[in-house]
Amino acid sequence: MKYYLIAGERSGDLHGGNLLKALKPLDNSAHFRGFGGDYMQAEGLDLVVHYNQMAFMGLAALVTNAKTIYDRIKFCKADILMYRPDVVVLIDYGGFNRRIAKFCKVNGILVFYYISPKVWAWYTSRAWELKRNVDRMFVILPFEKQFFKQFDFEVDYVGNPVLDSVKAFVPDRDFRKKNDFAESKKIVALLPGSRKMELKRMIPVMAEVVRMNPQFQFVVAAIDTLPQELYGPLRTISFVKFVYNSTYDLLKIADAAIVTSGTATLETGLFNVPQVVIYKGGKLEIAIIRTLVKVPFISLINLIANKPVIKELIQHDAHFDAIDAELKKLLSDGQYRTSMIQQYECIYQTLDIGSASENAASLMVKYLSKQTGV
């Protein structure tokens, strides 16, 4: 079978790579082409566009790069027609991939969607659009299956790839020693995000909290592909340490964490690290979000649990005094910590239905076989 895959961000590339790894033993004739990154390319993807040419975040970035995005969509459509795949597999990246799904539908090309757009959070009417244009949807959050039932759209819940990654992780036993962490200090992980705009907004706030607490060992889960000057406010503080490509090693030993909203909130929870979630956006962005968002929480932990397991400090609430107070509660209130960790464990059990990539791959091959009669 010929698969055309599209992932437009780092996380999509990681999950896409795992999906390819799971597909290969199930389909010996598989050939892969499309948009992605290093992980997918390492698993055999004929990479035509790298996601680093497409990962734009925020309204301003989308407007500024509108022509680039348009050109990428136009090229993608032409490349799909040239390649003539048996199926197009879309991975997250909703704004771009919804347009490709519509194009494929018009051209009679089978469409699978792995990790659906978050239409349950806002623009819920787009669920109707997905139903029209997507042949099979593979979702990774348990509540999504019930959500799409409202639109008479039967989707497959395959488990969560973040849990797969956590399960597969092998910790570095010498991590603490290599980084010279003080045994006498509690370790606080700082996860400021993976996008430039996130770091610009969240790093200065984190730095204020850090300066107030020299009694703790603060460690930044940094990304080496981002401009390092973005970490500037934290680099000026002598007792802050930085680790690269070692987020899971850091979470394995952390006593608490300050996390920018995103997938990292779920990763932190699956490592049983008490956390506070923070987020700041542009004024226009936040105004639009507050008008359109249909869910009561921003963190995946709270969304999956459907209750406030962890504290969310958003926009004006994400000031250093509030973050500092919550951090100290996470580190000193034993009952608070225990309750949070117990609820993390319930979330773990909810998500634990086997490997998401293997489940998705198995279903994809099954549906393809039915469709093609092979």
- List all residues 6 or more positions away from 273 whose beta carbon is below 8 Å from its beta carbon: 189, 251, 254, 255, 256, 257
pLDDT at 61 over 70: no
How far is residue 323's CA from residue 219's CA, in Å, rounded to a whole number?
A: 16
Same domain, 322 and 182: yes
124 versus 344: the higher-pLDDT residue is 344
DSSP 58: S
Average predicted confidence (pLDDT) for the chain = 91
Q: Which residues of 26-43 are buried (b: 16+ CB within 10 A; e: fewer)?
A: bbeebebbbbbbbbbbeb
pLDDT score at 130? 96
| pLDDT exceeds cutoff 60 at 257 | yes
Percentage of the chain beyond pLDDT 70 is 92
**Domain coverage including residue 272:** 168-351
Same domain? 204 vs 318: yes
What does the pLDDT read at residue 365? Answer: 97
Summarize the confidence of residues 253-257 as an average pLDDT.
98
Strand-by-strand arrangement of the 187-191 sheet: 240-244, 217-222, 187-191, 256-260, 275-279, 311-314
Give the CATH number of the domain where residue 22 resides: 3.40.50.2000
Please say if the pLDDT value at position 57 is more than 70: no
Average pLDDT over residues 324-329: 97
How far apart CA 117 and CA 99 sit, in angstroms, is 12
Rounded to the nearest angstrom, the gap between the alpha carbon of residue 177 and the centroid of all alpha carbons in its chain is 30
What pTM, to 2 d.p., does this model score? 0.85
Asked if the model's pLDDT at residue 335 lies above 80, the reply is yes
Query: Based on the domain organization, do 201 and 98 belong to the same domain?
Result: no
Which amino acid is present at 42? A
Average pLDDT (73-96) is 95
Q: Which of 254, 251, 298, 295 is nearest to 278 (CA)?
A: 298
SS (HEC) of 102-132: HHHHHCCCCEEEECCCCCCCCCCCHHHHHHH
pLDDT at position 373: 62
Res 9: pLDDT:
87
119 and 18, same structural domain?
yes
63 pLDDT more than 80: no
187 pairs with which residues across the strands? 217
Q: Angle at Cα 362 formed by Cα 356 and Cα 364, nearest 5°?
A: 100
Domain match, 32 and 106 both: yes
Residues 178 and 306 in one domain: yes
pLDDT tens by residue, 132-146: 999 999 999 999 999
| 163-195 tens-digit pLDDT | 999 998 999 999 999 999 988 899 999 999 888
User: Which pLDDT value is given to residue 348?
Assistant: 96
Which range among 12-16, 50-54, 330-334, 342-346 shows the weakest confidence by mean pLDDT?
A: 50-54
Residues 120 and 179 placed together within one structural domain of the fold: no
Query: What does the pLDDT read at residue 261?
Result: 81
pLDDT one-digit tens code per residue, 260-291: 988 899 999 999 999 999 998 766 666 655 55
Same domain, 20 and 125: yes
Same domain as 153, residue 72: yes
Element at 76 (helix H, strand E): helix 66-83
What domain count does the chain have?
A: 2
Pick from 34-38, 193-197, 287-291, 297-301: least confident: 287-291
Distance from C-alpha of 161 to C-alpha of 16, rounded to nearest angstrom = 10
Q: How high is the pLDDT of residue 292?
A: 54
For residues 84 and 219, state if they share a domain.
Answer: no
- On whether both 122 and 199 belong to a single domain, the answer is no
Do 159 and 138 meet the contact criterion of CB atoms below 8 Å apart? Answer: no
Q: What is the pLDDT of residue 178?
A: 94
Helix, strand, coil % over all residues of the chain, rounded to 5: 50, 15, 30
Asked if 195 and 260 count as a contact pair (C-beta separation under 8 A), the reply is no
Helix 334-351 to helix 320-332 angle, to the nearest 10 degrees? 90
Q: Answer yes or no: do 195 and 49 share one domain.
A: no
- Helices marked H in 214-278: 232-235, 247-253, 263-270
Q: What is the pLDDT of residue 60?
A: 45
**% pLDDT > 90, the chain:** 76
- Segments of the chain assigned E as strands: 2-7, 31-36, 45-50, 87-91, 111-114, 136-139, 156-157, 187-191, 217-222, 240-244, 256-260, 275-279, 311-314
Whether 317 shows a pLDDT value over 80: the answer reads yes
Q: Which residue has the higher pLDDT, 62 or 255?
A: 255
Query: What would the two tokens of residue 114 be?
Result: 């792995």
pLDDT value at residue 59: 44
Q: For 213-252, what is each residue's pLDDT tens digit?
A: 999 999 999 988 788 999 999 999 999 999 998 999 999 9
